[in-house]
Chain A
Amino acid sequence: MAKPTSVTNTIRSLRFVNGEMTQAALADRIGVTRQTVIAIEQGRYSPSLELAFQIAQVFKVPLDEVFQYPDT
């Protein structure tokens, strides 16, 4: 379960540059609860690929501008 993810994300800064979009507004746009947006932002939950693409679409950026995975 709680194996920490290596995936990082820039959702918080993307929200900020997109008119200081609230977590609730982003949650409404992608059809999840605000708690889930908070968990994704804090790296406590890795979203499905589909949800990840939906988040990228909201911010109109490629997926790898939202989520990053470190080189091994």
Chain B
Amino acid sequence: MSFNEKSAWIMAAITVGSYVAYLNIILGNAHNLPLADVPYASTLLWTIGAVIVASIVAHIVAAIAAPEDADKQDQRDREIERYGEYTGHWFVVAGAVGALGMSMAELSHFWIANVIYLALVVATLVASAAKILAYRRGFQ
């Protein structure tokens, strides 16, 4: 497995894990409050920080486990990387458009922030899935 494919698996796993953890914390703090009144900002920032740290650590571990692959990226890796990011970026656009509409409708900051975060999560997952499929099924 190439390092870039490992990276796609790492990002998919960390993204899913962190989002599930974030939802658990937010829903756990909700008690009987309406969701829009639940404090979310610090949890969101800690989650994003944890994703960054976890992905750096996981990539370092993957590089140490197979150092011969760690610094190699060829034409196919670059093409698959671009293809995956291009596929995922539509979800960032969708999230931004959604957040724009919600801002104009003066919806709660909670929902706007969470739509943006969800869009980033989905974009990362779709990009990772597209890359993994391209590595596994083929890429022309």
- Chain A residues near B (Cβ < 8 Å): 1-5, 31-33, 35-36, 39, 42-48, 51
Main SS of the interface on chain B? helix
CB contacts (< 8 Å) of A2 on chain B: these are: 133-134, 137-140
| A3 in contact with B74 (CB, 8 Å) | no
Q: How far is the CB of B31 from chain A (nearest CB, A)?
A: 46
Cβ-based interface call for B11 (8 A): no
Q: How far is the CB of A37 from chain B (nearest CB, A)?
A: 10
Q: A43-B138, A45-B139 are in contact. Are A1 and B83 (CB under 8 A)?
A: yes
1/0 contact string of B101-140 vs chain A (CB within 8 Å): 0000000000000000000000000000010011101111
Q: How far is the CB of B2 from chain A (nearest CB, A)?
A: 5
- Chain B residues near A (Cβ < 8 Å): 1-2, 5, 69, 72, 74-77, 83, 130, 133-135, 137-140
A67 CA to B32 CA in the complex, in Å? 66
Count contacts between A and B, CB distance < 8 Å. Answer: 55
CB contacts (< 8 Å) of A36 on chain B: these are: 2, 74-77
CB-CB nearest in chain B for A48: B75
CB contacts (< 8 Å) of B137 on chain A: these are: 1-2, 44
CB-CB nearest in chain A for B72: A33
| A35 in contact with B140 (CB, 8 Å) | no
| A32 in contact with B76 (CB, 8 Å) | yes
A48 CA to B83 CA in the complex, in Å? 16
